Amino acid sequence: MTKIIGLTGGIGSGKTTIANHFKSLGIPVYIADEEARKLMQSDEIVKAIKETFGSDFFEKDVLNRAKLAEAVFNDPDKLKELNAIVHPAVKKHFKQWLLEHNNFPAVIYEAAILFESGSYKDFDLIITVTAPIETRIQRVIARDKTSREQVLKRMEAQWTDEQRISKSHFVIENDSIENSIKEIERILKILKIRQNES
Protein backbone atom coordinates (compact mmCIF):
# COMPACT_ATOMS: atom_id res chain seq x y z
CA MET A 1 0.00 0.00 0.00
CA THR A 2 1.46 3.36 -1.05
CA LYS A 3 2.06 5.74 1.84
CA ILE A 4 0.82 9.25 1.02
CA ILE A 5 3.01 11.84 2.72
CA GLY A 6 1.85 15.44 2.94
CA LEU A 7 4.65 18.00 2.79
CA THR A 8 3.87 21.55 3.87
CA GLY A 9 5.34 24.71 5.35
CA GLY A 10 4.77 28.44 5.44
CA ILE A 11 5.55 30.74 2.55
CA GLY A 12 9.32 30.96 2.00
CA SER A 13 10.11 27.90 4.13
CA GLY A 14 11.69 26.20 1.10
CA LYS A 15 9.28 23.27 0.93
CA THR A 16 9.60 23.00 -2.87
CA THR A 17 13.39 22.64 -2.52
CA ILE A 18 12.78 19.86 0.01
CA ALA A 19 10.18 18.27 -2.29
CA ASN A 20 12.68 18.31 -5.16
CA HIS A 21 15.26 16.58 -2.98
CA PHE A 22 12.78 13.79 -2.22
CA LYS A 23 12.18 13.60 -5.97
CA SER A 24 15.91 13.25 -6.65
CA LEU A 25 15.88 10.23 -4.34
CA GLY A 26 13.28 8.53 -6.53
CA ILE A 27 10.13 9.39 -4.60
CA PRO A 28 7.29 10.67 -6.81
CA VAL A 29 6.28 14.21 -5.85
CA TYR A 30 3.04 16.02 -6.64
CA ILE A 31 3.46 19.81 -6.34
CA ALA A 32 -0.11 21.02 -5.77
CA ASP A 33 0.54 24.71 -6.62
CA GLU A 34 2.15 23.83 -9.95
CA GLU A 35 -0.69 21.50 -10.88
CA ALA A 36 -3.27 24.09 -9.76
CA ARG A 37 -1.58 26.63 -12.04
CA LYS A 38 -1.97 24.28 -15.01
CA LEU A 39 -5.54 23.36 -14.10
CA MET A 40 -6.48 27.05 -13.83
CA GLN A 41 -5.94 27.28 -17.60
CA SER A 42 -8.55 24.61 -18.30
CA ASP A 43 -11.82 25.72 -19.90
CA GLU A 44 -13.87 24.47 -16.97
CA ILE A 45 -11.96 26.47 -14.33
CA VAL A 46 -11.59 29.58 -16.51
CA LYS A 47 -15.39 29.55 -16.92
CA ALA A 48 -15.96 29.13 -13.15
CA ILE A 49 -13.49 31.96 -12.31
CA LYS A 50 -15.17 34.29 -14.83
CA GLU A 51 -18.60 33.51 -13.38
CA THR A 52 -17.41 34.12 -9.81
CA PHE A 53 -14.93 36.99 -10.21
CA GLY A 54 -15.85 38.57 -13.55
CA SER A 55 -13.70 39.22 -16.63
CA ASP A 56 -11.45 41.88 -15.05
CA PHE A 57 -8.83 39.27 -14.20
CA PHE A 58 -8.44 38.17 -17.81
CA GLU A 59 -6.42 39.65 -20.62
CA LYS A 60 -7.43 38.29 -24.03
CA ASP A 61 -8.99 35.30 -22.26
CA VAL A 62 -5.76 34.56 -20.35
CA LEU A 63 -6.04 34.63 -16.57
CA ASN A 64 -3.82 37.22 -14.86
CA ARG A 65 -2.90 35.07 -11.85
CA ALA A 66 -0.90 37.81 -10.11
CA LYS A 67 -3.87 40.20 -10.23
CA LEU A 68 -6.25 37.52 -8.95
CA ALA A 69 -3.83 36.47 -6.20
CA GLU A 70 -3.53 40.06 -5.01
CA ALA A 71 -7.32 40.42 -4.87
CA VAL A 72 -7.95 37.17 -2.99
CA PHE A 73 -5.06 37.49 -0.52
CA ASN A 74 -6.61 40.69 0.78
CA ASP A 75 -10.10 39.24 1.04
CA PRO A 76 -10.70 35.99 2.98
CA ASP A 77 -14.16 35.52 1.43
CA LYS A 78 -12.79 35.80 -2.11
CA LEU A 79 -9.97 33.39 -1.20
CA LYS A 80 -12.57 30.87 0.00
CA GLU A 81 -14.47 31.26 -3.27
CA LEU A 82 -11.33 30.67 -5.34
CA ASN A 83 -10.31 27.67 -3.25
CA ALA A 84 -13.81 26.21 -3.70
CA ILE A 85 -13.18 26.27 -7.46
CA VAL A 86 -9.55 25.11 -7.56
CA HIS A 87 -9.23 22.62 -4.68
CA PRO A 88 -11.78 20.04 -5.92
CA ALA A 89 -10.09 20.07 -9.36
CA VAL A 90 -6.66 19.52 -7.79
CA LYS A 91 -8.03 16.74 -5.58
CA LYS A 92 -9.51 14.95 -8.59
CA HIS A 93 -6.27 15.37 -10.57
CA PHE A 94 -4.18 14.05 -7.66
CA LYS A 95 -6.38 10.92 -7.39
CA GLN A 96 -5.67 10.22 -11.05
CA TRP A 97 -1.92 10.88 -10.54
CA LEU A 98 -1.92 8.52 -7.55
CA LEU A 99 -3.30 5.67 -9.68
CA GLU A 100 -0.29 6.11 -11.97
CA HIS A 101 2.15 5.95 -9.01
CA ASN A 102 0.56 3.29 -6.80
CA ASN A 103 3.46 0.86 -7.33
CA PHE A 104 5.76 3.10 -5.23
CA PRO A 105 6.09 2.53 -1.45
CA ALA A 106 5.57 6.27 -0.84
CA VAL A 107 4.62 9.47 -2.66
CA ILE A 108 4.83 13.10 -1.56
CA TYR A 109 2.05 15.67 -1.93
CA GLU A 110 3.49 19.19 -1.48
CA ALA A 111 1.10 22.03 -0.70
CA ALA A 112 1.28 25.35 1.15
CA ILE A 113 -2.14 25.20 2.76
CA LEU A 114 -2.42 21.53 3.67
CA PHE A 115 -3.83 22.33 7.11
CA GLU A 116 -5.81 25.45 6.21
CA SER A 117 -7.71 23.53 3.50
CA GLY A 118 -8.37 20.55 5.79
CA SER A 119 -6.81 18.19 3.22
CA TYR A 120 -4.15 17.05 5.74
CA LYS A 121 -6.71 14.49 6.93
CA ASP A 122 -6.25 12.60 3.65
CA PHE A 123 -2.59 11.74 4.32
CA ASP A 124 -0.82 8.96 6.21
CA LEU A 125 1.97 11.24 7.46
CA ILE A 126 2.72 14.96 7.46
CA ILE A 127 6.12 16.64 7.19
CA THR A 128 6.34 20.35 7.99
CA VAL A 129 9.23 22.43 6.67
CA THR A 130 10.25 25.40 8.82
CA ALA A 131 12.83 28.17 8.51
CA PRO A 132 13.63 31.33 10.49
CA ILE A 133 11.05 34.08 9.80
CA GLU A 134 13.63 36.56 8.47
CA THR A 135 15.05 33.93 6.09
CA ARG A 136 11.54 33.22 4.82
CA ILE A 137 10.77 36.91 4.26
CA GLN A 138 14.01 37.48 2.32
CA ARG A 139 13.43 34.36 0.17
CA VAL A 140 9.95 35.51 -0.85
CA ILE A 141 11.01 39.11 -1.54
CA ALA A 142 13.79 37.81 -3.82
CA ARG A 143 11.58 35.19 -5.50
CA ASP A 144 8.39 37.21 -6.03
CA LYS A 145 9.92 40.71 -6.31
CA THR A 146 7.43 41.83 -3.69
CA SER A 147 7.47 44.01 -0.59
CA ARG A 148 8.09 42.98 3.00
CA GLU A 149 4.59 44.19 3.88
CA GLN A 150 3.02 41.93 1.23
CA VAL A 151 5.00 38.92 2.46
CA LEU A 152 3.93 39.52 6.07
CA LYS A 153 0.31 39.83 4.94
CA ARG A 154 0.54 36.46 3.19
CA MET A 155 2.17 34.91 6.25
CA GLU A 156 -0.67 36.16 8.43
CA ALA A 157 -3.17 34.36 6.18
CA GLN A 158 -1.43 31.03 6.86
CA TRP A 159 -1.11 28.87 9.94
CA THR A 160 1.88 29.50 12.20
CA ASP A 161 4.78 27.03 12.38
CA GLU A 162 3.64 26.10 15.89
CA GLN A 163 0.16 25.19 14.63
CA ARG A 164 1.57 23.13 11.76
CA ILE A 165 4.17 21.36 13.93
CA SER A 166 1.52 20.34 16.49
CA LYS A 167 -0.23 18.28 13.77
CA SER A 168 2.87 16.95 11.97
CA HIS A 169 4.74 13.67 12.29
CA PHE A 170 8.10 15.12 11.20
CA VAL A 171 9.67 18.59 11.03
CA ILE A 172 12.51 19.65 8.73
CA GLU A 173 14.29 22.83 9.88
CA ASN A 174 15.37 24.19 6.50
CA ASP A 175 18.06 26.63 7.64
CA SER A 176 20.77 24.98 5.53
CA ILE A 177 20.66 22.43 2.73
CA GLU A 178 23.09 20.15 4.62
CA ASN A 179 20.81 19.96 7.67
CA SER A 180 17.76 19.46 5.48
CA ILE A 181 19.36 16.56 3.58
CA LYS A 182 20.32 14.89 6.89
CA GLU A 183 16.73 15.26 8.12
CA ILE A 184 15.31 13.85 4.87
CA GLU A 185 17.62 10.83 5.12
CA ARG A 186 16.65 10.32 8.78
CA ILE A 187 12.94 10.46 7.91
CA LEU A 188 13.35 8.02 5.02
CA LYS A 189 15.21 5.62 7.31
CA ILE A 190 12.35 5.73 9.81
CA LEU A 191 9.77 5.34 7.07
CA LYS A 192 11.62 2.33 5.69
CA ILE A 193 11.49 0.74 9.13
CA ARG A 194 7.77 1.50 9.30
CA GLN A 195 7.30 0.22 5.77
CA ASN A 196 8.94 -3.09 6.74
CA GLU A 197 6.83 -3.34 9.88
CA SER A 198 3.55 -2.69 8.11
Distance, CA of 118 to CA of 8 (rounded, Å):
12
Question: Would you say 14 is a known binding-site residue?
Answer: yes
Cα angle 133, 135, 140; round to 5: 95
Amino acid 157: pLDDT: 82
pLDDT per position as a tens digit, 74-124: 788 998 899 899 999 999 999 999 999 999 999 999 999 899 888 899 999
Question: Would you say 9 is a known binding-site residue?
Answer: no
The series of mean pLDDT values per 10 residues for the chain, 198 residues long, is 94 94 93 94 92 90 86 85 93 96 94 90 96 96 92 90 97 93 92 54
CATH superfamily of this structure's domain 1-28+106-193: P-loop containing nucleotide triphosphate hydrolases (3.40.50.300)
CB 110 within 8 A of CB 31: yes
CB 124 within 8 A of CB 138: no
Question: Would you say 16 is a known binding-site residue?
Answer: yes
For the chain, which residues make up each domain, given as ranges? 1-28+106-193, 35-100
Question: Would you say 15 is a known binding-site residue?
Answer: yes
Distance, CA of 154 to CA of 73 (rounded, Å):
7
Amino acid 38: pLDDT: 93
Amino acid 116: pLDDT: 87
Amino acid 74: pLDDT: 76
Question: Would you say 12 is a known binding-site residue?
Answer: yes
Amino acid 92: pLDDT: 95
